[in-house]
């Protein structure tokens, strides 16, 4: 514990072990060891991440909401389970750093008989969670411990909480290449994205941060250039109603804005390293 009241400690939630990061100003994060999954981020007196009330919390099923770590495969673009296996496995607690206005916690996953049942690659993965006043940074680090190149795709599949989806506007992608996965159409992104029905689009990542406007609240979303894409997703009313782990009105209370690698894999040379981050900052409340 630092002099200013920041701390990092073990805490069980929903019957699952995890780590609680807290700052003196009241901002906090809770990360489940299952999937190294950021489940909650409270900043400026508000929960900023959506979490489905229909999660199973069985230590095997992927958690719906928060920040799922999709690795080493995005969606079903390959032979691995959907979005890879990392979100379905238990990670271990790594090193931490605690200062007055910053708490950092690492979570670790290495190749093992469990992972080799899906993927033969030798690797060490780290999820680094950094909490600062009004901001959260999540970084995926991948170390290739094998003697051949490693290829992967993936995402930080962030569910951002919103009051009502119909009042949400997302800006910052104007002119970026856009693939609409619902209609299978390619275009250039509009200046402002709004949500009316199912929305599932992959964009070439912008150089500048995106801004999520939700009534009086505004959140800045940025990502490292090492992620080539940004994915924006909301299932809409009809698809949401068919999803067992979401309530019928769940779609109205979140939008996913993801730092991702979708169209082509990332290559990490033998003994090499890669990292990619996403940062969320409260701009206006």
Quickly count: other Cβ atoms within 10 Å of residue 100's Cβ. 12
Residue 157 appears among annotated catalytic residues: yes
Catalytic residue among 102, 178, 220, 258: 258
Both ends of the chain: CA-CA distance in Å? 29
Sign of the four-CA dihedral 105, 218, 208, 184 = positive
Q: Which two tokens stand for residue 233?
A: 């997703």
Active-site annotation holds for 11: no
Instruction: Specify the 3-state DSSP secondary structure of 208.
Output: coil
Set 34, 143, 157, 253: catalytic member: 157
Residues 230 and 193: their CA atoms lie apart, in Å, by 13
- φ/ψ of 246, rounded to 5, equals -130, 145
Token couple for 184: 């299978």
Sheet architecture: strand order including 192-193: 92-99, 102-110, 123-132, 135-144, 273-284, 217-223, 210-214, 168-171, 192-193
Annotated catalytic residues are 157, 258
């Amino acid at each position: 514990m630092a002099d200013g009241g920041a701390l990092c400690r073990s805490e069980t939630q929903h019957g699952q072990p995890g780590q609680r990061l807290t700052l003196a100003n009241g901002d906090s994060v809770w990360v489940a060891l299952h999937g190294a999954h950021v489940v909650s981020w409270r900043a400026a007196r508000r929960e900023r991440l959506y979490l489905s009330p229909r999660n199973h919390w069985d230590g095997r099923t992927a958690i719906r909401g928060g920040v799922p770590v999709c690795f080493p495969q995005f969606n079903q673009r390959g032979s691995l389970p959907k979005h890879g296996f990392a979100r379905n496995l238990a990670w271990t607690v790594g090193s931490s750093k605690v200062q007055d206005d910053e708490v950092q916690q690492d979570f670790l996953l290495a190749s093992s008989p469990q992972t080799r049942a899906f993927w033969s690659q030798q690797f060490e993965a780290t999820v680094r969670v950094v909490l600062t006043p009004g901001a959260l940074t999540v970084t995926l680090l991948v170390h290739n411990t094998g003697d051949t190149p490693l290829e992967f795709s993936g995402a930080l599949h962030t569910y951002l909480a919103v009051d009502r989806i119909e009042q949400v506007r997302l800006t910052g992608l104007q002119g970026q290449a856009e693939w609409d996965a619902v209609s299978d159409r390619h275009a250039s992104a509009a200046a402002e994205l709004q949500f009316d029905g199912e929305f599932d689009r992959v964009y070439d990542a912008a150089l500048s941060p995106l801004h999520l406007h939700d009534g009086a609240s505004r959140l800045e979303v940025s990502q490292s250039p090492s992620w080539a894409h940004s994915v924006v997703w909301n299932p809409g009313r009809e698809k949401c109603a068919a999803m067992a782990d979401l309530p019928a009105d769940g779609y109205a209370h979140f939008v996913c804005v993801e730092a991702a690698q979708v169209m082509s894999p990332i290559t990490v040379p033998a003994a090499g390293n890669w990292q990619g981050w996403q940062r969320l900052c409260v701009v206006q409340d």
